[in-house]
């Protein structure tokens, strides 16, 4: 029994029954081991989920070519697909943002946005808008059968449309809004 086995079994279990259905007992059963054994490797269920989250983020591809908006777009779509595969994971990550922030992805995006011309305030605003949008979409939207007002809508297209609007906003702010670019003037 090893850390890697536990992570793998937990991932398989989440794919089957979601984070909601993942249970320390079920996980132990899946591993063919007593409950206490699992706790010998993982201090807590929460810690296990945090570990899985970090593992997931490492799967996300960070593009290094193309214009800043295309890079941002590609990264967020990839992120959504990676996280969206595991039902309930986005909800968990969203509710535990403090310990779940993808430091590496963040750094990469910050660099791209700074290079594009955003100041610190702009970077923070665009970043939070992007992450919260993707998090929200993954938690509730991408797997939902779609609400009544959205019947017959392709959820994937909807996701990309929203993302495009968000990025268009970033582009527009870069051109016309001093608050988010260059230096702020006093007063």
Partner DNA sequence: ACCTGAACACCGTTCAAGT
Site string for DNA, 121-140 (x = CB under 7 A): --------------------
**45 contact, one of a copy of itself, DNA, none, CB 5-8 Å limit per kind:** DNA
Contact criterion met (CB below 8 Å) for 14 and 86:
yes
Q: Which two tokens stand for residue 61?
A: 């591809």
Helix (H/G/I), strand (E/B), else coil: 167: helix
Q: Which of 12, 35, 153, 165 binds DNA (CB under 7 A)?
A: 35
Cα angle vertex 110, ends 106, 116, to 5°?
A: 150
* φ/ψ of residue 48, rounded to 5: -60, -45
Q: Which of 13, 22, 134, 167 binds DNA (CB under 7 A)?
A: 22
Q: Answer yes or no whether residue 140 interacts with a copy of itself by CB under 8 A.
A: yes
Q: Answer yes or no whether residue 46 interacts with DNA by CB under 7 A.
A: yes
Residue closer to DNA by CB (options 36, 186) is 36
Q: Answer yes or no whether residue 139 interacts with a copy of itself by CB under 8 A.
A: yes
Q: How far apart are CA 153 and CA 151, in angstroms?
A: 6
Contacts of a copy of itself in 46-105 (CB under 8 A): 88, 91, 94-98, 101, 103
Q: Answer yes or no whether residue 167 interacts with a copy of itself by CB under 8 A.
A: yes
Q: How far apart are CA 136 and CA 102, in angstroms?
A: 16
């Amino acid at each position: 029994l090893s850390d890697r086995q536990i992570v793998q079994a937990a991932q398989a279990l989440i794919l089957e029954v979601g984070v909601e259905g993942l249970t320390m007992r079920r996980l132990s059963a899946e591993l063919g081991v007593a409950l206490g054994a699992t706790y010998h490797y993982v201090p807590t269920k929460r810690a296990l989920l945090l570990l899985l989250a970090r593992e997931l983020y490492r799967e996300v591809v960070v593009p290094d070519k193309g214009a800043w908006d295309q890079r941002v777009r590609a990264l967020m779509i990839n992120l959504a697909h990676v996280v969206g595969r595991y039902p309930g994971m986005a909800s968990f990550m969203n509710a535990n943002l403090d310990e779940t922030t993808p430091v590496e992805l963040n750094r990469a995006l910050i660099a791209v946005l700074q290079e594009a011309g955003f100041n610190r305030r702009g970077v923070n605003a665009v970043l939070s808008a992007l992450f919260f949008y993707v998090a929200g979409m993954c938690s509730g939207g991408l797997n939902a059968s779609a609400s009544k007002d959205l019947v017959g809508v392709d959820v994937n297209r909807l996701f990309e449309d929203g993302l495009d609007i968000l990025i268009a906003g970033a582009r527009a702010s870069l051109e016309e809004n001093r608050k988010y670019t260059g230096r702020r003037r006093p007063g």
